[in-house]
C-alpha cells in the first residue's frame, strides 16, 4: 500500500518499515553501549511512541525498566504549543538514569516541558530518544542523544503516529500529500 486515505487527507509512503527498523537498531546499539551498568528507566511517551518503544525495547540487551507516561500538546496537523500535565509516572526517578522514548520532536516544546517536570524529581541523568526529529521546526535548544531519523517539515502518520486518532496502526511511515 503506497498511498492511504485518512479522513480528508491523502498520505504517501515515505519511510518503509525496513528502513525504520534499521534506524531503531542503530539507536539500540548506541544505548546498549552507552548505558551499560546504569540500569536505565525507559519512559515511553504514549500514545505515539508505542510502536517505536516495542521495537526499540526488543533490541535493548542491558538490564532496564520500562514505564509509560502521557503528556500531550497536539491536535490536528499543527502544534498548539499548549502543554498538559504528566500522567502515569509511578516510579521514584531520584538518582536514576532515565531515557525518554518519544515518537517525534517537532517544535521541541513538549520535550522541553517534560524535561522540566522530570528535573523536579531529581534524576541522575535524562537522555532523549526519539524516532523522528524535524530539525527545521525546532524552536528550543535540546540535546537529542538518540534520534533514529531526521525528516523534513511535513506532517506524517503511521508507525504509532496519528491524524485525528487514525493511522497509528500502519507499519510504515506516510507523509501527507499537499
Is residue 103 within the footprint of ligand 5GP (CB under 6 A)? Answer: yes
Is residue 145 within the footprint of ligand 5GP (CB under 6 A)? Answer: no
Q: Which three cell numbers stand for residue 89?
A: 509516572
Q: How far apart are CA 126 and CA 42, in angstroms?
A: 10
Q: How far apart are CA 81 and CA 91, in angstroms?
A: 27
Return the closest-CA partner of residue 86 out of 57, 133, 121, 51: 121
Q: Which of residues 107-126 bind ligand 5GP (CB under 6 A)?
A: 107-111
Q: Which of residues 31-60 bind ligand 5GP (CB under 6 A)?
A: 48
Is 106 in the active site? Answer: yes
Q: How far is the CB of 166 from ligand 5GP (least distance, A)?
A: 10
Q: Judged by CB under 6 A, which stretch of 30-38, 51-59, 71-79, 121-129 contacts ligand 5GP? A: 71-79
* Of 103, 106, 145, 172, catalytic: 106
Question: Cα–Cα distances in Å, from 99 out to 61, 63, 103, 119?
Answer: 15, 13, 13, 13
Confirm if 13 and 167 have CB atoms less than 8 A apart: no
Q: Report how many residues bind ligand 5GP under the rule CB under 6 A.
A: 20
Is residue 73 within the footprint of ligand 5GP (CB under 6 A)? Answer: yes
Is residue 156 within the footprint of ligand 5GP (CB under 6 A)? Answer: yes
Q: How far is the CB of 80 from ligand 5GP (least distance, A)?
A: 9
Confirm if 28 and 62 have CB atoms less than 8 A apart: no
Nearer to ligand 5GP, 32 or 47 (CB): 47
Please report, as ranges, the residues that interact with ligand 5GP according to CB under 6 A. Answer: 48, 73-74, 79, 102-111, 155-157, 161-163
List residues with catalytic annotation.
106
Amino acid at each position: 500500500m503506497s498511498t492511504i486515505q485518512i479522513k480528508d487527507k491523502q498520505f504517501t509512503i515515505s519511510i518503509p518499515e525496513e528502513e525504520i527498523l534499521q534506524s531503531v537498531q542503530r539507536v539500540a546499539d548506541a544505548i546498549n553501549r552507552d548505558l551499560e551498568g546504569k540500569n536505565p528507566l525507559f519512559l515511553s511517551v504514549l500514545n505515539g511512541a508505542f510502536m517505536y518503544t516495542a521495537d526499540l525495547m526488543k533490541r535493548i540487551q542491558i538490564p532496564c525498566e520500562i514505564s509509560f507516561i502521557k503528556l500531550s500538546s497536539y491536535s490536528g496537523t499543527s502544534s498548539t504549543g499548549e502543554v498538559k500535565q504528566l500522567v502515569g509516572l509511578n516510579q521514584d526517578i531520584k538518582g536514576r538514569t532515565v531515557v525518554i522514548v518519544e515518537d517525534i520532536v517537532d517544535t521541541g516544546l513538549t520535550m522541553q516541558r517534560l524535561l522540566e517536570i522530570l528535573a523536579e524529581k531529581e534524576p541522575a541523568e535524562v537522555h532523549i530518544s526519539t524516532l523522528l526529529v524535524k530539525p527545521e521546526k525546532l524552536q528550543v535548544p535540546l540535546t537529542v542523544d538518540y534520534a533514529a531519523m531526521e525528516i523534513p517539515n511535513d506532517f506524517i502518520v503511521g508507525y504509532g503516529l496519528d491524524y485525528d486518532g487514525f493511522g497509528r496502526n500502519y507499519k510504515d511511515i506516510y507523509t501527507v500529500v499537499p
